[in-house]
Amino acid sequence: MSRRLKTDIPGTDYRIDAERLPDLDWEQEFAKDLRAPGPLVLELGFGRGEFLMHLAGEASERAHIGVEVSRKRVLKMARRVARSELCNVRLVHASAEHFAATGLRAASVEQVWINFSDPWPKKRHHPRRLVQPALLERLCWALLPGGTVEIATDDVPYAEHIDATLRAEAHLENVFAPDPWRSEVPGRPPTAYELEWRALGRPIHFWRYAKR
């Protein structure tokens, strides 16, 4: 028998209703908790949430936004953040595409993280892959000059797709050049999925592209 999902939030609820996104001022939203929120740090598809928690904990004066399409995972993460001492995290239940289209402002983001998104291996499902030209174009618009997009996957065909899509975006340049990607990035905290895939011997691919 599965355990019943707990819906109470044991503290401050840092979830943001997706319907508020078009009119939301992120600087104002974070100003009540942070003296100088500065440019945003995003994780699109935070999954189990441990990576986002690490980022926010390491930079407690920076504004972090986690976006996740799974309502259940957003709820679990909201409970986890409420139990922590973090006040620099906001959570949005939405697709990354919807968030990028409605929740961002020009030149407002310093970092975007996309960790181990679904590779959608069947060819007919490839349009569902998160890393697509339209999303990257929107993220470039939202990034500050020098701001970065950090992407990771363990799936080789998806890695080829990601690499080609990143190289085709004229507003981004490869920080790891001449390497197309790297299998290790010192200081980068592993996600739970990364640890699982490494244990299974899967090749890990990391990209870091910066806005020109």
- For residue 9, tell me if it sits in a domain: no
Q: What is the pLDDT of residue 185?
A: 96
Judge whether 3 lies within some domain.
no
Could you tell me if residue 1 is inside a domain?
Answer: no
Question: Does 201 fall in a domain?
Answer: yes
CB atoms within 10 A of CB 175: 14
Q: What is the pLDDT of residue 2?
A: 56
Does residue 71 form part of some domain? yes
Q: 37 is written with which tokens?
A: 């929120």
Average pLDDT, the chain: 95
CATH assignment at residue 129: 3.40.50.150
Domain-located, residue 164 = yes
- Confidence category of residue 38, pLDDT binned at 50, 70, 90: confident
Active site amino acids: 118
Which pLDDT tens digit goes with each residue over 172-184? 999 999 999 999 9
Residue 36, pLDDT score: 86
Residue 7 belongs to some domain of the structure: no
How are beta strands 109-115 and 40-44 bridged, if at all? Answer: parallel
pLDDT-above-90 percentage for the chain: 93
Q: How confident is the model at residue 6 (pLDDT cuts 50, 70, 90)?
A: confident
Q: What is the pLDDT of residues 120-172, one digit of tens each?
A: 999 999 999 999 999 999 999 999 999 999 999 999 999 999 999 999 999 99
Cα distance between residue 142 and residue 101, in whole Å: 10
Q: Which domain holds residue 21?
A: 15-211
pLDDT range class, residue 1, cuts 50, 70, 90 = very low
Task: Answer whether residue 8 is part of any domain.
Answer: no
Count how many domains the chain has: 1
By C-alpha distance, which of 15, 5, 4, 152 is closest to 77?
15
